[in-house]
């Protein structure tokens, strides 16, 4: 087994084990309908976590993603629900805005040598504050386009519904895999996370790469905000509170090293599905408190961080012997 993929294998194996346990314990748990619902219900989190994956692979962190989701939702609510603009006019505006917001944070991090934690924390407060200024109440979105999106999709065998959110997620995953493994920017991102000083010596354009990474995260957070508005038909300034922590948890459970330089988009997607399947199990059981989801995720995080530490130490010993 290639040690590079050990975390990914463990993540995939854990998902299959949890799905098997639920299928053996509960009727209909192993149906295609439940599997499809995992993607539908967690599409916005998965999109956010994919953006976070690139940030963490580069050795950074982005705490603003949840606030950007909220700001995007409120902006869509105000511009569509109150100003009467068509969603196809509003969506490009908020996506560009999310990308520029992330790019600005990336520029501050690089040019002023600031810690990503501090810059994105400030970005979180700024985005959440802007969302509250736009509206401190839930803004309903009542538009025929949203109704059409809700009805768009297809049924699979087993009464499984694949809707617009799942299709958008599939496109994002495909694009992210191509970006990570088949583009020059993807190589730069991994090089930057592996060793920033070595990346500079290798000719990696650190400034452009750093700005691009946070721009991607901001763009995908805005896209997640749009998908979240499809889910709720509204925008609310307090939406997605704590979403940045869920995204980080999904990335780590998916096998991405917190120290940067190693990680996979598919692993992050499986990490999100693991979190979703834990929630589904609790819903099927009916006797467990919903907070058990957080407890189990916390235990998984400890386990995966310990595994990463072990694999990193083993890799360092291997290089030392070589």
Read off the pLDDT of residues 266-292 as tens digits, 9 standing for 90 and up: 999 999 999 999 999 999 988 888 888
The model's pLDDT over 54-84, given as tens digits with 9 standing for 90+, comes to 999 999 999 999 999 999 999 999 999 999 9
Q: What is the 3-state secondary structure (H, E, C) of the chain?
A: CCHHHHHHHHHHHHHHHHHHHHHHHCCCCCCHHHHHHHHHHCHHHHHHHHHHHHHHHCCCCCCCHHHHHHHHHHHHHHHHHHCCCCHHHHHHHHHHHHHHHHHHHHHHHHHCCCCHHHHHHHHHHHHHHHHHHHCCCCEECCCHHHHHHHHCEEEECCCEEEEHHHHHHHHHHHHHHHHHHHCHHHHHHHHHHHCHHHHHHCCCCHHHHHHHHHHHHHHHHHHHHHHHHHHHCEECCCCCCCHHHHHHHHHHHCCCCCCCCCCCHHHHHHHHHHHHHHHHHHHHHCCCCCCHHHHHHHHHHHHHHHHHHHHHHHHHHHHHHC
Share of the chain above pLDDT 70, in %: 96
**What's the mean pLDDT when you consider all of the chain?**
93
Q: What is the pTM of this model?
A: 0.95
Give the pLDDT confidence score for residue 1 in this predicted structure: 45
Give the pLDDT confidence score for residue 232 in this predicted structure: 94
Give the pLDDT confidence score for residue 288 in this predicted structure: 80
């Amino acid at each position: 087994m290639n040690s590079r993929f050990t975390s990914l294998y463990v993540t995939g194996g854990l998902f299959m084990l949890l799905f098997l346990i639920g299928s053996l314990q509960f009727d209909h748990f192993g149906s295609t309908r439940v599997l499809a619902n995992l993607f539908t219900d967690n599409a916005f989190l998965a999109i956010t976590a994919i953006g976070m994956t690139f940030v963490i692979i580069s050795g950074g962190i982005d705490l603003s993603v949840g606030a950007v989701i909220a700001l995007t939702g409120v902006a869509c609510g105000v511009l569509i629900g109150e100003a009467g603009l068509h969603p196809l006019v509003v969506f490009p505006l908020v996506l560009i805005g999310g990308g520029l917001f992330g790019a600005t944070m990336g520029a501050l991090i690089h040019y002023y040598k600031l810690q990503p934690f501090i810059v994105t924390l400030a970005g979180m407060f700024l985005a959440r504050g802007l969302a509250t200024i736009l509206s401190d109440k839930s803004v309903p979105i009542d538009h025929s386009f949203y109704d059409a999106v809700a009805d768009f999709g297809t049924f699979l065998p087993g009464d499984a519904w694949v809707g617009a959110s799942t299709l958008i997620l599939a496109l994002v995953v495909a694009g992210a895999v191509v970006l990570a493994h088949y583009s020059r920017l993807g190589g730069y991102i991994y090089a930057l996370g592996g060793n920033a000083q070595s990346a500079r010596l290798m000719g990696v354009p650190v400034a452009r790469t750093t700005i691009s990474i946070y721009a991607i995260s901001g763009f995908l957070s805005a896209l997640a905000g749009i998908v979240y508005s499809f889910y709720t038909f509204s925008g609310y300034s307090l939406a997605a509170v704590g979403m940045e922590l869920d995204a980080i948890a999904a990335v780590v459970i998916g096998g991405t090293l917190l120290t940067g330089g190693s990680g996979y988009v598919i692993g992050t997607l499986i990490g999100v599905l693991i979190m979703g399947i834990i929630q589904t199990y609790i819903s099927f059981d009916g006797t467990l408190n919903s907070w058990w989801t957080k407890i189990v995720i916390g235990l998984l995080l400890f386990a995966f961080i310990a595994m990463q530490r072990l694999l990193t130490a083993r890799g360092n010993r291997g290089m030392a012997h070589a």
